[in-house]
Amino acid sequence: MSPLYRYAILSLCVLALAGLPACKTMDTLSEIGAGVAVATGVATPQQGESIKKAGSAVGKTFEAITPEQEYYIGRTVGAVVLNQYKPLDNEAANHYLNVLGQTLAQFSDKPETFGGYHFLVMETEDVNAFSAPGGLIFISRGMIRCCQNEDALAAVLAHEIGHVELQHGLQAINKSRVTSALTILAAESAKSFGGQELAQLTEAFEGSITDITATMMNNGYSRGFERQADRAAVTILQRSGYDPNGLTAMLTQMKKQLKSGGHDFAKTHPSPDSRIEDIVKWVGPVKPVVSHPVRQARFQAAAGKI
Partner 1 sequence: MIQIKQIAAMAAGLPAMLPARSATRLHRYAKHCGQAALQARRIALQAGLTAAVMMTATAVVTASAATMSVQVKEAPVRATPSFVGKVVGALAYGDQVEIRQTQGAWSKVAGAGVSGWLHTSALSSRKIVLAAGQEQAKVAASGDELALAGKGFNSDVEAQFKAGHKDIDFTWINRMEKIKVPSSEMQGFLKDGDVTPREGGAK
Q: In terms of CB distance, is 58 or 254 closer to partner 1?
A: 58
CA distance 55 to 61: 10
| Residue number with CB closer to partner 1 (182 or 251) | 182
The helix (H) or strand (E) run that includes residue 246 is helix 245-257
d(CA 204, CA 182): 10
In the bound state with partner 1, the residue whose beta carbon lies nearer, of 94 and 245, is 94
Contact in structure between 148 and 119 (CB atoms under 8 Å): no
Looking at beta carbons only, is 36 or 251 nearer to partner 1? 36
Measured in degrees and rounded to the nearest 5, phi and psi for residue 130 equal -135, 145
In whole angstroms, how close is the CB of 79 to partner 1 at the nearest point?
5
The side-by-side arrangement of strands in the sheet containing 129-132 is 118-122, 136-140, 129-132
228 vs 238 by CB, closer to partner 1: 238
Q: What is the closest distance, in whole angstroms, from the C-beta atom of residue 188 to partner 1 in the complex?
A: 7
Least Å distance, CB 38 to partner 1, is: 5
Least separation, in Å, of the C-beta of 111 and partner 1?
A: 5
Contacts of 261 (CB under 8 A, 6+ apart): 267
Closest contact distance (angstroms) between CB of 231 and partner 1 is 15
Neighbours of 283 (CB within 10 A): 17
